[in-house]
């Protein structure tokens, strides 16, 4: 899962990036509204954290522009404590949720998890498919109740396809959602990672759909 953080406060930006990275996301950052708008308009994100008070272009205008341009990713806005009107204009502009500053980073993480889940129609923070259980809260994976140690990239890969269960996910889509914008992307490596993941999980639930990509059965069909 790939997240964009648009926040001009450098310390806060870093704090969010660190927490999100530790939670298993790959993160791109922007420090002003114009840069943030550009990234959100051109790169595919699974969720965006958007500050309202930004230089160059304010957060509300950024959000309005994205929604005009039919960008549908879930957006969590960060608002100042006394600015209730920001919440109203933010939600009217197309925000999916908000957090008021100052906040605990755990709250932001929980809201991001919920936004991503909702955007793909999953209700629970633990996703179970057959013997595989993915705990999005603890970023942990188990098979038949046994914890499986995954690298950050393997975790992101599994999390992405489990969130999109039942659908064919192409290699290009995976590359776009597993790496940040600066990474030298090569979709051939995805095959290698899928191979490793299958081996570690010791199940054949991740199928290759020839010429199209990969698919994990949806929970309803895997039992
Ligand atoms: Ca700000």
pLDDT (tens digit, 9 = 90+) per residue, 133-142? Answer: 999 999 999 9
**What CATH number does the domain containing 209 carry?**
1.10.10.10
Sequence-ordered list of residues with C-beta below 8 angstroms from that of 65, at least 6 positions apart, any chain: 37, 41
Please, what is the Cα angle at 41 between 35 and 45, to 5 degrees?
A: 100
Residues 115 and 19 in one domain: yes
Residues 20 and 68 in one domain: yes
Cβ-count burial of 177 within 10 angstroms (0-12 exposed, 13-18 middle, 19+ buried)?
buried
Average pLDDT of the chain is 93
How remote is the CA of residue 202 from the centroid of ligand 1, in Å?
Answer: 47
How remote is the CA of residue 4 from the centroid of ligand 1, in Å?
Answer: 15
The span from the CA of 62 to the CA of 41, in Å, is 10
Boundaries of domain holding 77:
2-119
Residues 86 and 136 in one domain: no
How remote is the CA of residue 13 from the centroid of ligand 1, in Å?
Answer: 10
How remote is the CA of residue 76 from the centroid of ligand 1, in Å?
Answer: 14
Q: Transcribe 68-135 into DSSP letters.
A: HTT----EEEEE-TT-HHHHHHHHHTT-SEEEESS--HHHHHHHHHHHHHHHTT--SSEEEETTEEEE
How remote is the CA of residue 58 from the centroid of ligand 1, in Å?
Answer: 9
How remote is the CA of residue 135 from the centroid of ligand 1, in Å?
Answer: 32
How remote is the CA of residue 31 from the centroid of ligand 1, in Å?
Answer: 9
How remote is the CA of residue 137 from the centroid of ligand 1, in Å?
Answer: 28
Residues 130 and 111 in one domain: no
Residue 150 three-state SS: coil
Residue where a domain stops, chosen among 119, 136, 163: 119
Residues 12 and 105 in one domain: yes
Residues 19 and 114 in one domain: yes
User: Cis omega before residue 99 (within 30°)?
Assistant: no
Domain count, the chain: 2
Please write the tens of the pLDDT for every residue from 24-52. 999 999 999 999 999 999 999 999 999 99
How remote is the CA of residue 149 from the centroid of ligand 1, in Å?
Answer: 38
Return the CA Rg of the chain.
18
Residues 135 and 213 in one domain: yes
How remote is the CA of residue 7 from the centroid of ligand 1, in Å?
Answer: 6
Residue where a domain stops, chosen among 94, 119, 144: 119
Residues 114 and 154 in one domain: no
What the block records as the tokens of 220 is 């309803």
How remote is the CA of residue 134 from the centroid of ligand 1, in Å?
Answer: 34
Residues 56 and 103 in one domain: yes
How remote is the CA of residue 32 from the centroid of ligand 1, in Å?
Answer: 9
Q: Tell me which H or E stretch contains 186.
A: none
Least confidently predicted of 117-126, 148-157, 184-193:
184-193
Residues 80 and 138 in one domain: no
Tokens 């920001």 — which residue?
Answer: 86
Least confidently predicted of 20-34, 65-79, 163-177, 178-192:
178-192
The span from the CA of 77 to the CA of 97, in Å, is 6
pLDDT band at 204 (very low <50, low <70, confident <90, very high): confident
pLDDT of residue 86 exceeding 70: yes
Residues 142 and 83 in one domain: no
**What CATH number does the domain containing 22 carry?**
3.40.50.2300
Residue where a domain stops, chosen among 119, 139, 164: 119
Residues 19 and 95 in one domain: yes
């Amino acid at each position: 899962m790939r997240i964009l953080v648009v926040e001009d406060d450098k310390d806060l930006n870093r704090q969010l990036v660190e927490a999100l990275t530790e939670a298993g996301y790959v993160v791109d950052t922007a420090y002003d509204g114009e840069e943030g708008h550009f990234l959100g308009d051109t790169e595919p994100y699974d969720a965006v954290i958007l500050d309202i008070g930004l230089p160059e272009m304010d957060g509300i205008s950024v959000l309005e522009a994205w929604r005009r341009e039919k960008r549908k990713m879930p957006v969590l806005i960060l608002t100042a404590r006394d600015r209730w009107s920001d919440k109203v204009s933010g939600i009217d502009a197309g925000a999916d949720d908000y957090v008021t500053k100052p906040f605990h980073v755990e709250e932001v993480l929980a809201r991001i998890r919920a936004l991503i889940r909702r955007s793909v129609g999953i209700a629970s923070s633990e996703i179970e498919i057959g013997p595989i259980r993915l705990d999005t809260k603890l970023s942990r994976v188990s098979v038949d109740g046994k914890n499986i140690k995954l690298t950050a990239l393997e975790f992101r890969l599994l999390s992405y396809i489990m969130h999109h269960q039942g659908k064919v996910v192409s290699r290009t889509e995976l590359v776009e959602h597993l790496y940040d914008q600066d990474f030298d992307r090569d979709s051939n490596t995805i095959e290698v990672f899928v191979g490793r993941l299958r081996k570690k999980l010791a199940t054949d639930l991740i199928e290759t759909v020839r010429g199209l990509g990969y698919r994990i059965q949806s929970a309803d069909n895997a039992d």
